């Protein structure tokens, strides 16, 4: 497809487990972002990649969260020792840097539920 693809769309796990969420951005988009949206809130910035490197990871809540983008395309958000408070929709977005509007193209999100 032409849009941002995220898998899985839904993930239910138990407290303490490890989770990986995958994002496949729009082809040619060099910038990739992860956001987290909790119930009743707007998306909250987690991390930004320019190419393969994390240019800004200031939004990651703690060291249980980690993200990679080894080849500058697909990205994986990794959450260790999950907690119930990690339950949220994790949104991935991509963009062309230098675009006039700076608009982000979001995927449909991965809904994570930690029991």
Residues lying near other proteins in the complex (CB under 8 A) are found at 4, 31, 33, 40-45, 48, 50, 55-56, 59, 91, 93, 95, 97, 99, 101-109
Task: Please state the closest distance from residue 93 (CB atom) to other proteins, in A.
Answer: 7
Do the Cβ atoms of 24 and 105 come closer than 8 Å? no
What's the min distance (Å) between Cβ of 115 and other proteins? Answer: 21
Q: Is 98 exposed, middle or buried (0-12, 13-18, 19+ CB in 10 A)?
A: exposed
To other proteins, the closest distance from the beta carbon of 105 in angstroms equals 8
Instruction: Characterize the bridge pairing of strands 110-114 and 10-13.
Output: parallel
Best CA proximity match to 21, nearest among 56, 52, 53, 65: 65
Residue (12 or 55) nearer to other proteins, CB? 55
Q: 29 vs 64, which CB is nearer to other proteins? A: 29
């Amino acid at each position: 497809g032409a849009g941002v693809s995220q898998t899985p769309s839904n993930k239910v796990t138990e407290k303490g487990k490890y989770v990986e969420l995958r994002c496949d951005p729009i082809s040619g988009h060099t910038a990739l972002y992860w956001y987290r949206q909790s119930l009743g809130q707007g998306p909250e910035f987690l991390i930004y990649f320019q190419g393969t490197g994390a240019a800004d990871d200031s939004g990651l809540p703690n060291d249980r969260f980690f993200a990679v983008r080894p080849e500058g395309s697909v990205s994986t958000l990794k959450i260790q020792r999950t907690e119930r408070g990690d339950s949220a929709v994790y949104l991935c977005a991509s963009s062309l840097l230098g675009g006039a509007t700076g608009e982000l193209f979001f995927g449909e999100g991965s809904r994570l539920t930690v029991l």
